[in-house]
Amino acid sequence: MKPKVLVLRTAGTNCDVETDVAFQLAGAKTDLVHIQNLISGNTDLSDYQILAIPGGFSYGDDIAAGILLAVEMKHKLRDALHQFVEKNKLIIGICNGFQVLVRTGLLPGIEGIKEKTELSQSATLAMNTSAKFECRWVELDTQQSQCVFTKGIKPQLYLPVAHAEGRFNAPNEVLAELASNKQVVFRYSNGKQSSSNNIDYPDNPNGSDADIAGICDKTGRIFGLMPHPERFLTRYNHPRWTREDLPEEGDGLAIFKNAVEYVKATFS
C-alpha cells in the first residue's frame, strides 16, 4: 500500500509543489488539496494518512503568520482533524505550516487534545529578533525525541530557513515541559557544541527560545519546524555543492521517508 499524503493549500500557500515532490520522492501518493475542498466535503481527510501543511503566506499572513488558516481549520475542520489525530495519523507543518499548527494548539499540544474542549495556544512564533524576513541556511542539532519523522536521522542537519516570524517563544514552564517530554526535535546549532543553549545570531536565525527550530506533540506524530526540509532534496540544493563532497540525497528527504515508512508499518 502506498501511503497517501494530503498537501493542504489555500490562498498564499507557496511551498506546496516542492513539498508534494518531496513526499513523492519518499514513495507516497500525494494530492494537492485546497482547503475549500475539505470544507465542502469534496475531499475526505480520512482517506489520507499524512497531512502536510506547507510553507507560504496563508491569507497573506494578515493579523499574524498562519493565524487565519489556523482559525479556519479549528472551526471548520475541527472534527475531521480530531479524528485524524485520534487514528494515530501524521501531521507535518513546515514554516507557515508550523505557525498554523502552533496557532491551532495542535503543537505543542501539551494539554492533550482530548482533555480540552477548546484547542488553546501555549507557544508562539514571533517576529524574528532581526525584525525582518531572512533567508539563510542553518545547522540543526537533532534532539532525542519522540518524533516519528526524525527517527534514526543524522545528528546534524543543514537546511534553509526563510521567514520573518519564526522566533519560537513560550513561557518557561512550557519550555521545561517540552524538554522533559522530549518534544524538542531540532535546535539551531553553531556546529560546534551539541545541544547548547542560546547560541548567537545568525546561527540561531530568529532568536528562538532555547534555540528551538522544531517540535512535536507528545505522541511524536504531529511535527512542526521552521526550516525547509523540502528545499534540500538533492545535493545540488546545498549552497556549497561546488566545493564539498556530498551524498546525492539531500538532508531533508529523510524526514519525508520516515513518515512514509511509519505509515507503511502502522497501517498496512
Partner 1 sequence: MSNKVNKFQILNADDDELMRISQEGTLSLNLDEMHAIQKHFSELQRNPTDVELETIAQTWSEHCVHKTFKSLILYSEEGKETEEIDGLFPTYIQRATEVIDKPWCVSVFSDNAGIIEFDDKYNLVFKVETHNHPSAIEPYGGAGTGIGGVIRDSLGTGLGAKPILNTDVFCFGLPDTPYNKLPKGTLHPKRVFNGVVSGVRDYGNRMGIPTANGAILFDSRYTANPLVFCGNVGLIPRDRCDKSVEPGDLIVALGGRTGRDGIHGATFSSAELDDTSENLGSVVQIGNPIMEKKIVDALLQARDQNLFRSITDCGAGGFSSAVGEMGEGTGAEVHLERVPLKYEGLAPWEIWLSEAQERMVIAVPPDNLDRLQEICDAEMVDATVLGSFTDSHRLQVLYEGETVADLDMKFLHKGLPQHVKKATWQIPQHKEMQSRDKETEDYADDLCQLLASPNIASKESVIRQYDHEVQGGIVIKPLVGVNNDGPSDACIATPIIGSEKAVIVSNGINPKYSDVDPYISAASAIDEALRNIIAVGGTLEKTALLDNFCWGNPDKPDRLGALVRAAKACYDIATAYGTPYISGKDSLYNEYRDTTTGEQRAIPSTLLISAICVMPDIRKAVTMDVKSPENLIYVVGNTYSELGGSHYFDIHDYIGNTAPIVRTNEGKLTMETLSSAINKGLVRSCHDCSEGGLGVAAAEMAFAGGYGMSLSLTNVPTGEDISCDDFLLFSESNSRFLVEIEPKNQTTFEHHMEGVPIGCLGQVKDSQAFIVHGINQKRVINSSIETLKSAWQTPLVP
Catalytic residues: 95, 228, 230
Does 267 sit near partner 1 (CB under 8 A)? no
Q: Contact with partner 1 (CB under 8 A): which of 3, 93, 108, 160?
A: 160
Does 132 sit near partner 1 (CB under 8 A)? yes
Closest CB 78 distance from partner 1, rounded Å: 21
Does 11 sit near partner 1 (CB under 8 A)? yes
| Residues within window 209-248 making contact with partner 1, judged by CB under 8 A | 228, 230-231, 233-234, 236-237, 239-243
Q: How many angstroms separate the CA atoms of 146 and 173, rounded?
A: 19
Q: Which is nearer to partner 1, 55 or 97 (CB)?
A: 55
Q: Contact with partner 1 (CB under 8 A): which of 4, 27, 31, 36?
A: 36
Closest CB 60 distance from partner 1, rounded Å: 4
- Looking from the CA of 104 toward its CB, the CA atoms found within 13 Å total 28
SS3 content of the chain, % helix, strand, coil (to 5): 30, 25, 45
Does 190 sit near partner 1 (CB under 8 A)? no
Does 180 sit near partner 1 (CB under 8 A)? no
Q: How many angstroms separate the CA atoms of 215 and 238, rounded?
A: 24
Q: How many angstroms separate the CA atoms of 170 and 174, rounded?
A: 6
Does 133 sit near partner 1 (CB under 8 A)? yes
Between CA 240 and CA 98, with CA 55 as vertex, the angle to 5 degrees is: 105
Q: CB within 8 A of 131, min separation 6: which ones?
A: none
Q: How many angstroms separate the CA atoms of 205 and 140, rounded?
A: 11
Specify the residue for cell string 507503511.
Answer: 264
Q: Contact with partner 1 (CB under 8 A): which of 82, 83, 112, 135?
A: 135
Specify the residue for cell string 526535535.
Answer: 185
| Residues within window 58-97 making contact with partner 1, judged by CB under 8 A | 59-60
Assess contact for 218 and 112: CB atoms under 8 A: yes
Contacts to partner 1 by CB under 8 A: 9, 11-15, 17-18, 21, 25, 34, 36-37, 55-57, 59-60, 132-137, 160, 162, 228, 230-231, 233-234, 236-237, 239-243
